[in-house]
């Protein structure tokens, strides 16, 4: 009940912001570009080791990601280019966060870890492939939004890993980004494989129907 109340409150706030932006005539594509620009800043903060603040910035960046589509729909400015721009820049946003984390763990710091570099790289590849299979499947008429680790879940995990980062903390819950990276790496590839299998099954159904 408490969680539902928070959700309703957040939705009211977002809806109010959307109406204000729509009334002001803000172009939804501008919101998309602002969002990816903030995400680049998030990647820079990750690279500097400022994980906590990177998490805060990531939350703000994804607020814009929620706003642009809602503003477009409310103002009747939904366009093919807008959808293409949003989807393309989402991939860039995903990669810059991972790149920042890779730079941090590859740098000459006490937290240097080749293993974390590799796991973050695998997570980045898996995340991109999950998104690619969705886009490619839609081009052949199949909607493959299946799998448990989609983009919203990936962002939440990155935020959790980032906000848990406190230097010199001995708490069990602190500094969990390495564990988050493992979940992202394994979960993304699991979702990628799930989608590949789902698309294969759906294509078999389509081809069987065409042959009848």
Q: Kindly list the domain boundaries of the chain, sorted by start residue.
A: 2-211
Q: What is the pLDDT of residue 90?
A: 84
Cβ-based burial of 129 (10 A; exposed 0-12, middle 13-18, buried ≥19): middle
Q: Mind listing the pLDDT tens digit for each residue in 169-204?
A: 677 677 789 999 999 999 999 999 999 999 998 888
Instruction: In whole angstroms, give the CA distance from residue 72 to residue 78.
Output: 5
Kindly give the parts of the chain with pLDDT less than 70.
Answer: 1-11, 13, 169, 172, 210-212
Q: Mind listing the pLDDT tens digit for each residue in 37-47?
A: 999 999 999 99
Instruction: In whole angstroms, give the CA distance from residue 183 to residue 150.
Output: 12
Place domain 2-211 in its CATH homologous superfamily: CDP-alcohol phosphotransferase transmembrane (TM) domain (1.20.120.1760)
Q: Using DSSP, state whether 56 is helix, strand or coil.
A: helix
């Amino acid at each position: 009940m408490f969680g539902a109340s928070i959700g309703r409150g957040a939705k009211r706030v977002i809806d109010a912001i959307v109406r204000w932006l729509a009334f002001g005539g803000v172009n939804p594509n501008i919101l998309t570009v602002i969002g990816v620009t903030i995400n680049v800043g998030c990647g820079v903060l990750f690279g500097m080791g400022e994980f906590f603040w990177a998490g805060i910035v990531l939350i703000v960046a994804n607020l814009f990601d929620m706003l642009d589509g809602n503003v477009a729909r409310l103002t009747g400015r939904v366009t093919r280019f807008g959808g293409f721009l949003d989807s393309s820049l989402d991939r860039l946003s995903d990669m810059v966060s991972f790149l920042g984390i890779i730079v941090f763990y590859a740098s000459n710091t006490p937290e240097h870890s080749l293993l974390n570099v590799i796991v973050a790289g695998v997570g980045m590849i898996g995340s991109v492939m999950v998104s690619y299979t969705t886009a490619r499947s839609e081009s052949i008429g199949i909607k493959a939004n299946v799998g448990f680790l989609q983009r919203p879940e990936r962002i939440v995990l990155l935020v959790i890993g980032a906000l848990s980062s406190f230097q010199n903390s001995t708490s069990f819950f602190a500094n969990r980004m390495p564990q988050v990276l493992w979940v992202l790496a394994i979960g993304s590839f699991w979702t990628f494989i799930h989608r590949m299998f789902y698309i294969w099954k759906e294509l078999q159904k389509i081809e069987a129907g065409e042959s009848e």
